[in-house]
Amino acid sequence: EWGSASFVFQALPRLPLMVTYWLGDEDFPSACKIMFDESASHYLPIDACAILGGMVAKKIIHS
């Protein structure tokens, strides 16, 4: 199961990202996760992946 809502998009050529959102309830808070394809480290160094993830997170927070 991929959360309450999820979206896959091409962040960069050959680099898909999945953003997944889980609705909260009385027991658990809402959550949002950004997941990289397993091939991400073949195209970008880990620090660049972290920067890209931060940029996506900032866009989500401000939208």
How many Å apart are CA 15 and CA 41, to the nearest integer? 10
> Amino acid identity of 37?
D
Domain residue ranges in the chain:
5-61
Give the β-pairing of 5-12 and 15-22. Answer: antiparallel
How many Å apart are CA 17 and CA 10, to the nearest integer? 6
Which pLDDT band holds residue 63 (cuts at 50, 70, 90)? confident
pTM equals: 0.80
Q: Is pLDDT above 90 for 47?
A: yes
Q: Give the mean pLDDT of 27-32.
A: 94
- Is 53 in contact with 34 (CB distance < 8 Å)? yes
